[in-house]
Amino acid sequence: MEDKMAKISMGLPAEKDNSTIQFTLLITACIQPPVENLKAVFRSDAQIRLNDYITALRFWLGYREEKITNIIFIENSGYDLKELKQIAGNENKFNRTIEFIQFIASPIPTGLHYGYAELEILDTAFTLSKTIGQTDFFIKVTGRLYFPTLSKLLKKVSIKNRILIDFKDFKFFNIQKHYAVTTLIIIRNDFYRDILFGAKTKMEPVNGNHFETCYYNILKPLSGNKDIITRFPFNVNPVGYGAHLDVNYGSFNKRFANVVRKILRIVYPKFKI
């Protein structure tokens, strides 16, 4: 713990002003999940998934946010990216630097969830990208989703922040949840390098076999640091469909849950539901 906290306290770019912070938008993608993962992914058809990624990419290409200077699209199934690259070339409204990275995912170890592959995506992006180091932070977004109110959250980011992530962390009678929401994360580059790089090796078959629980287990002991934000100050709701259960984030149930969370963030912010 002391070693981790020592790393966190190092390398603060104090000369930077919050108004000059720049972000890379890191879009993670798996267009054609491997056969062994299909049982865990309800939204598994490659064409449907490709259409999801196209919709989200078009949204981000047209998203007016001057702090987002770079976009990285990284894909791990080897599916042909020609259509996505054409869209990026033709619809880059704000002339952002756009980088495509592609590799083939490693086999997922027995007992671990397919989130292992997404953690591998992040490490690969951090290793291979020619552009991610040009900005102070990167914004990890699940590639099939988009977040219309992201700009509102970016206004809250300080250069001192290490990470902004939304925890589900509560116990209410017999109901409890303890995990990190990983569809949207804002991470300072040096924090990722020092603390989160290689997180997939910390996944455990029982209590940490998902991306969400792995990050929770790493970050929870560090959450006493005021620059490690584990609760967004307001809802930043996604648009699109979740792959795991094919959930429509715009459904009545999801919208109702978001209203409840919005109220609780105001009246009882420590209750991370």
Quick one: which of 161, 160, 137, 163 has its CA closest to 216? 163
What pLDDT was estimated at residue 116?
Answer: 95
What pLDDT was estimated at residue 208?
Answer: 75
pLDDT along the chain (273 residues), means of 10: 53 69 98 73 86 98 98 98 99 98 95 92 98 97 98 97 92 80 98 98 86 95 95 93 68 68 67 60
Q: What is the CA radius of gyration of the chain?
A: 18
Predicted structure pTM score: 0.89
Residue 111 in contact with residue 205, Cβ under 8 Å?
yes
Helices (H) and strands (E) in the chain, counts: 8, 7
Burial of 39 (0-12, 13-18, 19+ CB in 10 A): exposed
What pLDDT was estimated at residue 157?
Answer: 97
> For residue 56, what is the enclosing H or E element?
helix 46-61
What pLDDT was estimated at residue 84?
Answer: 99
DSSP 33: -
Helix 82-90 vs helix 46-61: crossing angle, to nearest 10: 20
Quick one: which of 167, 170, 226, 217 has its CA closest to 195? 217
Domain 2-10+17-267 has CATH 3.30.70.260: no
238-255 residue pLDDT tens: 999 876 655 777 676 777
Residues in the chain: 273
DSSP 228-249: EE-S-SS----BSB-TTT--BT
Alpha-carbon span 269 to 200, nearest angstrom: 30
Alpha-carbon span 31 to 47, nearest angstrom: 8
113-161 residue pLDDT tens: 889 999 999 999 999 999 999 999 999 999 999 999 999 999 999 999 9
Which positions ≥6 away from 162 have C-beta within 8 Å? 8, 187, 188, 191, 195, 225, 227, 228
